[in-house]
Amino acid sequence: MVETDSCEGLRAETIVVAGNGGDLIHAYHARPLGPGPFPWVVLFHHRPGWDSWCRTATRRFGAHGYSAICPDLYCRRGHGDPDDVAARVRADGGVPDDQVVGDAAECIRFLRAQPSSNGKIGLFGTCSGGRHAYLIVCRIADVDAVVNCWGGNIAAGDDALTAVQPLAPADLSDHLTAPVLGLFGDGAHNPSPADVDTLGEILQPREAVGVPPLSPNRPRHSSITTALPRTGRRQPSTDGPRYGPSWTANSPSCS
């Protein structure tokens, strides 16, 4: 299959945006040329940091017609080699959850103010970024869809909790305010297949949705599909299908 872009022009650059508490942080921004309107995607980088892979992923979203932004969640811990910065963050126990949520809220506010926005905003994260994306959609009722790719510690036990990350995002699942697609591997250990099964049980469907597994050979835990729980908060749009988690085999794991 030949991958094709949906746009022929792209602008990509590092910008400065407001973050939690008014802090100024860097973000990588890629967007199609032209007036739009475009849907927006906020990408949350993986545990190794704000590196070249994240820029590549951001540009790929831009090339397919999205305006995409990837904030540097480690910006406050200095700059330089991503491995060195990530090591400092890990020594501190990770980035504080409240800070991540605040950074996301400010990025979303920035995006909604852009004249090229079509009003739709999705979140996408891999590894620890997948955890952040799930956490944010449970705490901010201002996004339209989320993709969580092998988010580590999404269903963490007490021994994995820290002062800066005091809750497992799965414990906040009753507060989901948008559809979530989760991709996890059969051989993963964080979360484990058992953790994925447990989360699937938490998110039992309130109504049926027709999302088939990617393959008829997928094991049971990898193709759970549920609808968004009814929580009394903002409900998903009624002008399209509502998708809940779809746990997919053979994806990488995040430790």
146-186: pLDDT as tens digits: 999 888 788 877 677 778 887 888 888 888 888 888 888 77
In the chain, where are the structural domains located?
A: 10-222
Q: Which residue has the higher pLDDT, 62 or 82?
A: 62
Model pLDDT for residues 122-151, shown as the tens digit of each residue: 999 998 899 999 999 999 888 999 999 888
Mean pLDDT for the chain overall:
76
Which of 37-41, 109-113, 173-177, 242-246 has the weakest average pLDDT?
242-246
Q: Over 60: is that where the pLDDT of 114 sits?
A: yes
Which of 72-86, 96-110, 238-252 has the weakest average pLDDT?
238-252
Tell me the mean pLDDT in the region 73-90: 83
Tell me the mean pLDDT in the region 178-203: 78
Predicted confidence at residue 219, as pLDDT, reads 33
249: CB partners within 8 A, 6+ apart: 185, 186, 214, 215, 218, 219, 222
Predicted confidence at residue 229, as pLDDT, reads 36
Q: Categorize the per-residue pLDDT at 23 as very low, low, confident or very high, splitting at 50, 70 and 90.
A: very high
Q: Categorize the per-residue pLDDT at 203 as very low, low, confident or very high, splitting at 50, 70 and 90.
A: low
Q: Which residue has the higher pLDDT, 207 or 41?
A: 41
- CATH class, 10-222 region: alpha beta
Q: Categorize the per-residue pLDDT at 90 as very low, low, confident or very high, splitting at 50, 70 and 90.
A: confident
Model pLDDT for residues 213-222, shown as the tens digit of each residue: 333 333 333 3
Indicate the burial class of 28 (C-beta count within 10 angstroms; 0-12, 13-18, 19 or more): buried
Please write down the long-range contacts of 84-91, taking CB distance under 8 Å and 24 or more positions apart: 85/49, 85/50, 86/47, 86/48, 86/49, 89/49, 90/47
Predicted confidence at residue 61, as pLDDT, reads 94
Taking CA 120 as the corner, what is the angle to CA 245 and CA 66, rounded to the nearest 5 degrees?
Answer: 90
Tell me the mean pLDDT in the region 42-70: 92
Q: Over 50: is that where the pLDDT of 19 sits?
A: yes
Tell me the mean pLDDT in the region 84-104: 87
Predicted confidence at residue 228, as pLDDT, reads 38
The alpha carbon torsion through 152, 155, 157, 162 (nearest 10 deg) reads: 60
Sign of the torsion formed by the C-alpha atoms of 23, 127, 64 and 141: negative
Tell me the mean pLDDT in the region 41-56: 90
Indicate the burial class of 240 (C-beta count within 10 angstroms; 0-12, 13-18, 19 or more): exposed
